[in-house]
Amino acid sequence: MMYIIAEIGINFNGSLENCLKMIDMSVDAGCHAAKFQFFTANGMYPISAGKLDWKDGEKEYSYDIYEAVKTFELPPEWLDTIIPYCESKNIDFMASIFDIDGLNFLVKKGMKTIKLSSYTITHIPLIEAAAKTGLPIIMSTGGATLAETEEAVRCAQKYNNNITLLHCSLKYPTPLNEVNMGVLDTLRLAFPEVAIGYSDHTFEPSDAPVQAVYLGATVIEKHITLDKKMDGPDHFFALEPDELSRMVADINEARADFESGNISIDKTIYGMSAKICYEHEKYIRDFCYMTLFAKRDIKKGEAIAAKDLSVLRPGKKARGLEPRYLGLFEKNMVTAKCDIAFEEPITWDLLLG
C-alpha cells in the first residue's frame, strides 16, 4: 500500500486559515498525511547565522536568516485546531521535528508518526530520543553518505525498527537528471529490514514519484501550495491542487503497474545509485546540517557541559562538531582551551588546543 504525504511545511504563510485549506486540499487529492514543520528560530539557527540572498527564477530574496525563520514558525497553540481538524478529515497529522523539545511537545499532543528531515540525520541524540518513543519514524536522507545513514538507522534500531528511509535531493528544485533515484536500490540492499520511500523536490508533479514507486518506494512526500505565486521560498516548486490530485492518481496507477510487473525505468531519473553527498547538495548540506555551538560565553579553562551547547544549523557561519559528539560533554570533563564566544561553533581546536 502506498502512503502519500502532502508537505505543507512553511507554505501556510502565517495563516491558520491557509493551514486548514491545505489540509482540505490534501484530503481532496487522496493523500494520507498532511505534514507541517515544527521548529523555533531559536532552535534552528544562531542569531548570527547571517544574511541570505537568492532567487527562484522570478523573485529575488534578501533576508536575515534568523529573523526570516521566525516568520515561518508554526504557532504551538494552532495545533489544538490543526490536529483535531486532521482527525475530523480522516487524514494523519504529521510534522518534521528538529529538536528534542519539539519532539516531546508533539508526542504529548498525540502525533502518531515522527518525521525527521535530512538535516537532522547526523543529530544522533535526537534520533535516539525519537526511537525511544516507540513511534514509527520516517527519516529523510538527502545529502547523507551511506555511512551516516547507517549510523542513524542503527541508532534508531536499538529501540525501534519501525523505520522508513526516504531518498531525496537537497537541491530545491531538483532537475530530473540529478534525482539519482538509483539510490533507492542501494537503500533497499543496505537496509532490507526497513521500508523505503522518496521525498520529491522536482518541478514535475509525477515523473520522479512514479519512478520511485517502480523501484519499490511505499512512501512518497511532496511539497504543496495553494498558489505557486505566493511569497516564500518553498512555493514555486510545490504542487497546486490540480497537480497534487494528478500526482496521487499517477502514483496509485504506478503502484498497480509495479504489482503486475509492468514497469519502465527512466535511465535519466534513475541516474546514479551511490549513496553520497552529491556535488549539487554540498552547499545546502554545509548550510543546514546541524552542528554544535556555544550557548553562552565560555572562559578559558572553564568546564563545558552539554547544557552549554546548542545544536543548530550554521547558515553562513563556520561548522563545528557534529551533534553525535554532544554525549562527550555529558560523560567527560571537557574544558575550554581558550575563550569561546556566544554562538561560536565548537571545534576540536577549542577543546584540545
Q: What is the pLDDT of residues 303-319, one digit of tens each?
A: 999 999 999 999 999 99
Res 62: pLDDT: 80
Res 112: pLDDT: 97
Tens digits of per-residue pLDDT, 105-117?
999 999 999 999 9
Res 353: pLDDT: 65
Residue-wise burial string across 240-257, b where 16 or more C-beta atoms lie within 10 A, e elsewhere: bbebbbebbebbeebbee
Res 56: pLDDT: 64
pTM over 0.85: yes
The closest alpha carbon to 162, from 185, 189, 134, belongs to 134
Residue-wise burial string across 104-137, b where 16 or more C-beta atoms lie within 10 A, e elsewhere: ebbbeeebebbbbbbbbbbbbbbbbbbbebebeb
Three-state secondary-structure class, residue 160: coil
Q: Tell me the CB-side half-sphere exposure of residue 341, using CA atoms within 13 A.
A: 3
Instruction: Decide if 315 contacts 65 (C-beta within 8 A).
Output: yes
Res 101: pLDDT: 97
Instruction: Decide if 83 contacts 103 (C-beta within 8 A).
Output: no
Cell numbers placing 285: 548540506
Res 331: pLDDT: 84
Which residues fall within 8 angstroms of residue 9, CB to CB, at 6 or more apart? 35, 36, 37, 96, 223, 234
Q: Calculate ∠ Cα 121-224-65, nearest 5°.
A: 55
Q: How far is CA 240 from CA 26, 60, 137, in A?
A: 10, 21, 27
Q: How far is CA 322 from CA 27, 98, 133, in A?
A: 39, 15, 23
The closest alpha carbon to 216, from 170, 245, 177, 182, belongs to 182
- The total number of residues shown for the chain amounts to 353
Rg (CA), the chain: 20
Res 1: pLDDT: 83
Res 196: pLDDT: 98
Res 119: pLDDT: 98
Digitized pLDDT (tens) for each residue of the chain, 353 residues in all: 899 999 999 999 999 999 999 999 999 999 999 999 999 999 999 999 999 876 666 677 788 999 999 999 999 999 999 999 999 999 999 999 999 999 999 999 999 999 999 999 999 999 999 999 999 999 999 999 999 999 999 999 999 999 999 999 999 999 999 999 999 999 999 999 999 999 999 999 999 999 999 999 999 999 999 999 998 889 999 999 999 999 999 999 999 999 999 999 999 999 999 999 999 999 999 999 999 999 999 999 999 999 999 999 999 999 999 999 999 998 889 999 999 999 999 999 999 86
